[in-house]
Amino acid sequence: MTKGSINVSVENIFPLIKKFLYSDHEIFLRELISNGTDATLKLKHLTGIGESKSEYGNPQIEIKIDKEGKKLHVIDQGLGMSAEEVEKYINQVAFSGAEEFLDKYKDSAQDSGIIGHFGLGFYSAFMVAEKVEIITKSHTGAPAAHWTCDGSPEFTLEEADKESRGTEIILHIADDSTEFLEESRIRELLNKYNKFMPIPIKFGTKEINDPDFTPKTTKDKDGKETTEPHKKITVDDIINNPNPAWTKQPSELKDEDYSSFYRELYPMQFEEPLFNIHLNVDYPFNLTGILYFPKMTNDMNIQKDKIQLYQNQVYVTDNVEGIVPEFLTMLRGVIDSPDIPLNVSRSYLQADGAVKKISSYITRKVADKLKSLFNANREDFEAKWDDIKIVIEYGMLSEEKFFEKADAFALYPTVDGKYYTYDELYNKIKANQTDKDDKLVILYASNKDQQHSYIEAAKAKGYEVLLLDSPIVSHLIQKLETTKENVSFARVDGDHIDNLIKKEDTTISKLTEEQKTQLDTLLKEVIPSEKFSIQLEAMDSDASPFIITQPEFMRRMKEMQATGGGGMNMFGSMPEIHNLIVNTNSELVGEILSTKTKKKQERLINQSLDLARLSQGLLKGEELTNFIKRSYDMIK
């Protein structure tokens, strides 16, 4: 038997590991299983090239709990180690980065991502164990070795009588970590970190129906049938899927395979995804994965099921910011890349060159897929538009490359349910919706019901009205106005339709300048100036007498601030002021002006104003109650 000290100059390495990684201590199982998987895959390679004396067979990794003995076993059938290899890989190499680790982390416990990064994976076992044993036998046929360490730098190493190839790690679980002796807790961790590991993982046994047994059915004398119970057999409980969909070529998979894998990833999701994007690249970096577009709502904050990040089928995290472009974090699915370290901080990821390339590749791949889906079946794409538009619009805002590609598939729906690409829309409306200053005005509504009368007024002029109702639409049209030449967007309730798209011909007012001054004075005596800015306009005589609008710029700035416009708080604090456009050619307005009694004039003005407010959803509470009572009185 050999005794010795682990090759590390600082004796407090184990307390430091426990302290720095305590918040993440459950990952010890992931690290040990990853090591076992690595040893098994290396054996597969060596047997494949004839460099091993051992047959590969059908190896698996087994996890066993000995609750009474307070032990947890992790057993693999991989390469195994000789005593010399244990000395080299466990006592020396694992701690080659120990002092660097101490220098970097002794003053800061903020970054828990150090285990895999500094070759300390095996020693994560000491976060939960007071003593760890390794019993291992090499594939070369060298004598088996037994290594023991109690969490100090002291260890023992002796021969063992293990017959089978591979490594068994025995963790003597510490008193403060007995949760890891519970089957439910271990099963939870295996499902979280090891669900798709490439080597089968056994955790206990289960009973299933014997596939080779056919139950017999017999009849009694009365002709009643009885079927004998199904024969049960006990099999290993393999808790993982070693060959998940993303590890296969897209040509190997059908639509039902993608749907089945989605349910495997998210068993609590009952809605099918709209479509998927299969990522598969091996240059200039390695990356595979499948992303799914779920049905989206307009609430951008809801994200119950996130994209999962794997490294060689080992789960890393579902916090993929910095790897996946932010607008795609609303999607679901899996990304797997060996180029992403298992344990690193987010700031490290965001600064990493390979990760930046991965992010821009995913952006390009998603844009290309959306374009091909649009070209292949436009009708289907249009039907799904409402469920995916929030992701696409957010991408157009946040990623310049995506914005450039989006002209090929981003849609602009109208209130009548037609869908245009930007170029199609431009060509359709250019002749009719270009104003006297040669600027193209794109009209849009955000709510068909609330803005119905304004939409109808625009349609009466032969104008197309888009329906843009996502929460970030103000940001998007601002972006479009700055990138598309000589174009402006105007919401249909932003002004009277003739002011939104000003043409050369102007309607002549029936009122004289003196009458206009008289009307203006009268209106300002009755209508509160802190709520309404009055403007007299000569419009068609059959247009509404009073029209309430909200200035496009002010409303848009407020909306942008409400959805993260940043730096625009001055607009949020401003009072809600609306324009009141009074049609000087309206018969009712003429009647208000000619009415002899002040009281009747006020009543007509208030009633007309309240009708205009009602059409905009601005009449509420006590004012609405009073309006209804007053209207009944007028009927009587």
Q: Prior bond to 284 cis, omega within 30?
A: yes
Is 300 labelled as part of a ligand binding site? no
Report yes or no: 169 and 125 within 8 Å, Cβ to Cβ.
Answer: yes
Report yes or no: 582 and 536 within 8 Å, Cβ to Cβ.
Answer: yes
Is 626 labelled as part of a ligand binding site? no
Report yes or no: 164 and 137 within 8 Å, Cβ to Cβ.
Answer: yes
Q: And the tokens for 312?
A: 């060689």
Buried b (16+ CB within 10 A) or exposed e, 269-296: eeeebbbbbbbeeeeebbbbbbbbbbeb
Is 26 labelled as part of a ligand binding site? no
Is 191 labelled as part of a ligand binding site? no
State the Cα–Cα distance between residues 246 and 225, nearest whole angstrom: 47
H/E element, 130: strand 129-137
Q: 3-state DSSP call for residue 3?
A: strand
Is 81 labelled as part of a ligand binding site? yes
Q: What is 19-43 written as a DSSP string?
A: HHTGGGTTHHHHHHHHHHHHHHHHH
State the Cα–Cα distance between residues 237 and 239, nearest whole angstrom: 6
Alpha-carbon torsion angle 220, 222, 224, 228, nearest 10 = -10
Which residues does residue 303 pair with via DSSP β-bridges, in sequence order? Answer: none
The dihedral through the CA atoms of 141, 204, 173, 37 has a sign that is positive
Q: And the tokens for 38?
A: 């690595």
Alpha-carbon torsion angle 397, 401, 403, 404, nearest 10 = 160
Strands 465-467 and 440-445 come out as parallel
Buried b (16+ CB within 10 A) or exposed e, 84-120: ebbbeebbeebbeebeebbeebeeeeebbbbbbbbbb
Is 263 labelled as part of a ligand binding site? no
Which residue ranges make up the annotated binding site for ATP? Answer: 31, 35, 76, 81, 96-97, 167, 346
Binding-site residues, in ranges, read: 31, 35, 76, 81, 96-97, 167, 346
